[in-house]
Amino acid sequence: MADRSVCRSSAPLGLLVLTALVFGGCQSDKLIAAACREDSDCEAGLLCDKFECVSEKSKSCEVVVDGNPVLQPSPHVVSFGELDVLEGTQTIGLHNIGNCTLTVFEASLSGGASSPFSCEVCASGGFPMDIFPNRSRPLELSFKAPLVGSFDDELVILSDDREFPELRVPVHARFLGVPDLNVAPNPIDFGFVAQGRASQKQVQVTNRGTGTAPIVVQSIELSPKGTQDFTLSEVPAEAVTLNPIARDSTSLLTVQLQYHPRSIGKHQAELLVTTSKGQVNVPVLGNAETPPKLTYSPSSIDLGQVPLGQSNFLPLTLVNEGGAPLVVSYSWGGPKPSTDLFATPQVVPPIAAGAYLEMQVAVTATGLGPISGMLMLSTNDPSRPSVTIPVTAEGVPGAGPEVVKLEMYFENGSNSAFDNDMRNVDMTLEHPYGYVCNKSDPKPTNWGNYGNPSWIAFAPKEEPERIVLANSTQDGTYRVMLQYMEDCSSLPTALMAGILGISVEVLVGALTSGVGQVNGQDVAKLIENVCLSHSNTNATVKAYVNGTLVLEKTVTLNKKGDSLYAADLIRAGGKFSAK
């Protein structure tokens, strides 16, 4: 406690003042009203001025001699800079460098409601605002990007500054887009690899973001670092900047990951991708414990006698008795494979360990006599990499009218395997009054006396496409229309799958209407973005009546979006012809 005797001391005045400041002053003999260092040290309605709490009213321009309030914003230009996030905030300081109280009457953005910038205080009634001399008040501005690009506005401030009662502060922002790192595949699953063997996968790192916002990949490594079962190679020694792949299809980073199990068992690690936007951890899995093991039933399929125009189905059961997922794909072969034979689903999903899948093998008889084909299965079962299942049937006369089969083939690279040629043509059969049968409506039921049509396409490229028209009892002219859906004759499918963050197998499923949760719009957009070349294509239409070829016609489609009528089917007097 202060020594009150100081107040009665004969010490010099300066010492008494210092003592009062340090020890809190004396009761009734204080030399000043209060001691302060900042406004918060004073009571409400008072300001700290030269260590003294004084009334706010004493700083009014009406009281101060030659009072002049001066507004100085800081900064003079509000810049949000280059943003790769949708929203941002910036604070502008409103400084009063005058000698009396400045009143800010209002502040607003000249862009109004359409501006991507906003000021919450401006809109919520935070004005008028008093700013005392040599003091500041903060004002927060917000930005929310409506799209990629540069944006400008002005903050308009009205005050009693005598020289600049209306002050305009430029406001700028540039939204680059939002970067989005993608590592594909994710997870990286090698499936079964026997001990002592090796398997390799290509891992692609891309930026699937919008606009021009880049991502810097700083490092890629395996965790734990001492793993003996996985090896990473072709990793760049320096940081790599990835631009959005939608703008630059060459902006990708590819590394190689090998799985070479040293022991029998299941192995796992993590691929760590460190970037300017954080770290992505990708699981890495391998199985050297138990391979997939295919068993199937029956070993051959006889679909029996099938009347013309009718279909018959029998199941084919695929069982995975192993300990890793079983991957199966199929195609049709034989000396003269018939499009009367088909199977569903078009793309077989992976079969988990201990699980089974039931396929449907079917025939739609369009001609008399024997029908035969070989259903050829390819698998990742090391003891049974391929299986051939004979399929037979016999077309016999039916009670109904003539049956028409249409087949359409088109140029699109190899038909036996999925390559990088993505050209695609679709076939539609039009009813005499405009109803259609095609991929979108494969089994219409509203054709009435004009028959029961059905459409099907063959994996992996929806080629050939086939339409069977049965039970037509009404004369008329049907039209065969072809549409050029995709003219991409060279597409890096591995790149495309990597951009989508899926495997090539899932991409094949998406492109052939098979399995795989892939957004169709994303696939179409990426085909357009990463297609290396476009080309015309020749398409051939064949028409059969009760198994007899009555028309074979080849046409040329020049570019994506082209459509034409390739042939007419004419039913007159109960008989079909084609031209």
Return the HEC string of 13-55. HHHHHHHHHHHCCCCCCCCCCCCCCCHHHCCCCEEEECCEEEE
The distance in angstroms from the start CA to the end CA of the chain is 117
pLDDT digits (tens, 9 = 90+) for 526-554: 777 778 889 999 999 999 999 999 999 99
Which whole-number Å values give the CA distances from 411 to 22, 142, 533, in the listed order?
96, 55, 15
| Residue 494: per-residue pLDDT | 72
Residue type, 350: P
- Count the alpha carbons within 13 Å of 3 in the hemisphere toward its beta carbon: 6
In the DSSP assignment, the letter for residue 352 is P
Q: In this structure, are strands 424-430 and 356-364 parallel, antiparallel, or unpaired? A: unpaired
Q: Which residues, 6+ apart, have CB-to-CB distance to 389 below 8 Å?
A: 296, 299, 300, 301, 316, 374, 375, 376, 377
Q: Which domains does the chain have, with CATH numbers?
A: 4-59 (no CATH), 71-175 (2.60.40.10), 185-287 (2.60.40.10), 290-399 (2.60.40.10), 401-491+531-579 (2.60.60.30)
DSSP code string of 397-420:
--SS---EEEEEEE--S-SSS--S
Residues of the chain with pLDDT under 50: 1-32, 514-515
| Residue 518: per-residue pLDDT | 64
Encoding tokens for residue 534? Answer: 């476009």
| Residue 454: per-residue pLDDT | 96
d(Cα 271, Cα 283) in Å, to the nearest integer? 6
d(Cα 112, Cα 116) in Å, to the nearest integer? 9
| Residue 416: per-residue pLDDT | 58
| Residue 27: per-residue pLDDT | 46
Q: Which residues, 6+ apart, have CB-to-CB distance to 249 below 8 Å?
A: 495, 529, 530
pLDDT digits (tens, 9 = 90+) for 416-444: 556 778 899 999 999 999 899 999 999 99
Encoding tokens for residue 447? Answer: 């054709």
Q: Are 429 and 480 in contact (CB under 8 A)?
A: yes
φ and ψ at residue 154, rounded to 5 degrees: -135, 140
d(Cα 293, Cα 224) in Å, to the nearest integer? 31
Query: Edge-to-edge, what's the strand order for the sheet holding 369-379?
Result: 301-307, 386-396, 369-379, 328-333
| Residue 504: per-residue pLDDT | 67
User: Position of tokens 């008028």?
Assistant: 128
| Residue 34: per-residue pLDDT | 53
- Model confidence, pTM: 0.68
Encoding tokens for residue 369? Answer: 């006599």
Rg (CA), the chain: 39
| Residue 508: per-residue pLDDT | 64
| Residue 100: per-residue pLDDT | 96
